[in-house]
Amino acid sequence: MAGRPRSGAERLTRDGIVSAAVDLADAAGLASLSMRSVAQRLGVTPMSLYNHVANKEELLDGMVDAVFAEFYAPVPGAEWRSELRQRALTAREALKRHPWAVGLMDSRRNAGYETLLHHDAVIGCLREAGFSLRLTGHAFAVLDAHLYGFLLQEVSMPFEPGQDLAELGTQMIAALPEGQLPYFREFTLEHALQAGYDFGDEFEVGLDLVLHGLAERLAAQPQGRAS
């Protein structure tokens, strides 16, 4: 005897709810996110979600954990600069897919397993490269400061990547007081508005500066990674 078809609520899973919430936030931002809006997206009643997710805060915990799962996890024991560079590049791409997450990534009190797994990989990569505990803390902090700080600027830009900036720049320059702000005018006209300029290219320049500085700190630290 064939079983009766399962309802949408019966097919719900925590992962499915989190995935729907991520899709909703990607499309319309965090302001659009509520238990009701996620339920509508899944075609179920809001109450059915609470069998899998206690509240919106737990849902946000899961969403952040899902984004961390998209970051490349550096391999402890491998060449640390290339591993952490790859981690930063993939993290940037993930956060560009999920711009709502930029300000949330290390804000959750109840970090998920993927979050902790990723942090363990980064710390392990640094420790196995010989970073002391203190220098590991410095390195992790400055790498994430560059990543999240840059993304905060990048996703807030008043134009889309690849957009022709000539018209925007012309309007901006025309509004400047005549004969004033010479360095800003020079930078804007002769660099930022030139063909091929992309603010996003600055990410790797900054990343390489950070990695170079950390390599110098590593070489200068006392011998023994626990120092």
Same domain, 73 and 23: no
**Contact 113/66 with Cβ under 8 angstroms?**
no
What pLDDT was estimated at residue 6? 45
Distance in angstroms (rounded) separating the CA atoms of residues 186 and 181: 9
Residue 121 in tokens = 């990989």
What pLDDT was estimated at residue 3? 46
What pLDDT was estimated at residue 1? 39
Instruction: Read off the pLDDT of each residue in 41-65 and give the average, rounded to a whole number.
Output: 95
Distance in angstroms (rounded) separating the CA atoms of residues 44 and 81: 47
Residue 218 in tokens = 């590593």
What pLDDT was estimated at residue 5? 41
Which of 44-48, 198-202, 214-218 has the lowest average pLDDT? 198-202
Same domain, 119 and 26: no
For residue 88, the one-letter residue type is: A
Instruction: Read off the pLDDT of each residue in 197-216 and give the average, rounded to a whole number.
Output: 94
Tally the domains of the chain.
Answer: 2
Instruction: Read off the pLDDT of each residue in 139-168 and give the average, rounded to a whole number.
Output: 82
- Dihedral Cα 123, 93, 152, 114, nearest 10 deg: -40
Distance in angstroms (rounded) separating the CA atoms of residues 153 and 78: 31
Identify the CA nearest to 72 among candidates 38, 117, 42.
Answer: 117
Distances (CA, A) of 194 to 145, 162, 164, 187, 197: 29, 12, 10, 10, 6
Alpha helices in the chain, H assignment, sequence order? 14-28, 35-42, 46-49, 56-68, 80-97, 113-128, 133-154, 166-174, 182-187, 202-220
Which of 19-23, 74-78, 112-116, 153-157 has the lowest average pLDDT? 153-157
The reply to whether 3 falls in a domain is no
Residue 9 in tokens = 């609520």
Instruction: Read off the pLDDT of each residue in 20-43 and give the average, rounded to a whole number.
Output: 95
Same domain, 71 and 38: no
Same domain, 108 and 158: yes
The reply to whether 158 falls in a domain is yes
Checking if the pLDDT of 175 tops 80, the result is no
Residue 54 in tokens = 């206690």
Distance in angstroms (rounded) separating the CA atoms of residues 126 and 3: 54
Instruction: Read off the pLDDT of each residue in 69-89 and give the average, rounded to a whole number.
Output: 98
Checking if the pLDDT of 134 tops 70, the result is yes
For residue 193, the one-letter residue type is: L
Q: Which domain CATH number covers 215?
A: 1.10.357.10
What pLDDT was estimated at residue 196? 78
Checking if the pLDDT of 4 tops 70, the result is no
Domain span at residue 156 reads: 67-162+198-220
Reported as half-sphere exposure (CB side, CA atoms, 13 A), residue 41 has a value of 20
Which of 95-104, 167-176, 185-194 has the lowest average pLDDT? 167-176
What pLDDT was estimated at residue 164? 59
Same domain, 143 and 34: no
The reply to whether 8 falls in a domain is no
What pLDDT was estimated at residue 8? 54
Residue 58 in tokens = 């737990």
The reply to whether 169 falls in a domain is no
Distance of CA 134 to the CA centre of its chain: 24
Same domain, 48 and 77: no
Same domain, 77 and 43: no
What pLDDT was estimated at residue 163? 57
Q: Which domain CATH number covers 48?
A: 1.10.10.60
Percent of the chain residues topping a pLDDT of 70: 89
Identify the CA nearest to 80 among candidates 139, 156, 8, 167.
Answer: 139
What pLDDT was estimated at residue 158? 67
For residue 165, the one-letter residue type is: L
The predicted model scores a pTM of 0.86
Q: Which position has the higher pLDDT, 184 or 53?
A: 53
